[in-house]
Structure 1
């Protein structure tokens, strides 16, 4: 008899989720999400100087950098600071 299991992952508006692993779980940023989300958006995180939530992987972090580079709703100064913040944030594979 084959056992089936399913797992549901809820991604908060700021792109943060808790991923389950065999030996526990880890909270990570799995996508850029809504930058301005007051709970866990990257822009809110940066402005409040919270400890950054690690990215799921280098690829997810690089995708977020590319997305921020092309956003039309950010002024030059905010974009530059945000890009610096994202680039300095570790990704889960490094933590």
Structure 2
């Protein structure tokens, strides 16, 4: 899938204004209830459902996946704000060959 930084994209011109409207009346309150300064969070252990990732991304708190092994101390790959893909554990970190 090519999902990631595509919030509000698509061929429909009304998606971005509608997203801005819902962000103002609903999503901002949801974000505030989590933590007013939270920009993103990272999940690990098991791959979380892509629909859950879409939900958090839509409300403005992207959830990035990571993967690790205890023998790798402990993370070997992760998504990050500048490069992420929903449903993926991200790219391997440097020096993890």
Q: Same fold (TM over 0.5)?
A: no
Relative to the length of structure 1, the TM-score reads: 0.25
Answer 1 or 2: higher relative contact order, Cα 8 Å, separation at least 6: 2
Relative to the length of structure 2, the TM-score reads: 0.24
> Normalized per residue, which structure has more helix?
1
